Amino acid sequence: MAELLVVEDDETIGHALEASLRSHRHAVTLATTGADAVAVGERASFDLVLLDLGLPDRDGFEVCRDLRSRLPGTVIVILTARDEEIDVVVGLEAGADDYLVKPFRSAELAARIRAHLRRGDASAEAVGQLVVGGLRVDGPARRAWLAEVEIVLRAREFDLLARLASEPGRVLTRDVLMRDVWDEHWFGSTKTLDVHVSALRAKLAAAADQALAVAPEIVTVRGRGYRLGSA
């Protein structure tokens, strides 16, 4: 059982989601405004948040940023009718781990939730301790350092870095990364991978500046995928 926060202003949809999620034995807290969601996020911890963007009081992307700052280790899944690619990119850059467009099948949502909830434990067991140049990745602790500077990572950022670091110098295709970091039955756009790579590059660069060290480079191999160089 997981602790879930559902942020949905339409009470009919919200209660339907709540009933469906409870049928899967999850504990559910329902918030109908952005302010309520942020307030709940300040006083409780959750394994996963389902966030609608069309909230009555605040921009959904701002709420996503606030929840990400308050719940750094929590998976955030945006549920919305907005299907433009720019909305997907903005949502992921705001801190979401996933973006699901309405209408969606309840089976698809349940599969996404299962995938997100099980990835962390599975990846930690597989990673162990990894060292690539000055980068050190501790799988069981789910922490990473460049030299002596810790790199603060979101859940999927850590999983992605760990997967790249598990085979430094080797090109890992987009399909392999989506399968291993997200799920083998992934339904959504792989744009989430590009956004997470961009965020990782920025965090590695910031850590390198702070540590006065050289970070391993995440190299784009056009038409194939990404590889982590050994600095």
Which of 157-161, 191-195, 220-224 is least confident? 191-195
Distance of CA 198 to the CA centre of its chain: 13
How many other C-beta atoms lie within 10 A of the C-beta of residue 108? 13
User: Can you tell me which residue has the tokens 């997907």?
Assistant: 88
pLDDT more than 90, % of the chain:
58
pLDDT at 188 over 60: no
The confidence score (pLDDT) of residue 118 equals 75
CATH 1.10.10.10, the chain: domain bounds: 122-228
The CA distances from residue 142 to 38, 117, 149, in Å, are 25, 15, 15
The confidence score (pLDDT) of residue 189 equals 59
Which of 11-20, 108-117, 211-220 is least confident? 108-117
Residues in the chain: 231
The CA distances from residue 106 to 8, 39, 82, 112, in Å, are 16, 28, 18, 10
The confidence score (pLDDT) of residue 121 equals 52
Q: In the structure encoding, which two tokens stand for residue 84, read together?
A: 């433009």
pLDDT at 226 over 80: yes
pLDDT at 115 over 90: no
Mean pLDDT of 114-125: 66
Mean pLDDT of 175-179: 90
Strand partners, 145: 136, 150
Residue 105 — very low, low, confident or very high, per pLDDT cuts 50/70/90?
confident
pLDDT more than 70, % of the chain:
92
Beta-sheet pairing, 149-151 with 98-101? unpaired
The confidence score (pLDDT) of residue 102 equals 86
- Does domain 122-228 fall into CATH 2.40.50.140? no
CATH level 3 topology of 3-104? Rossmann fold (3.40.50)
Residue 106 — very low, low, confident or very high, per pLDDT cuts 50/70/90?
confident
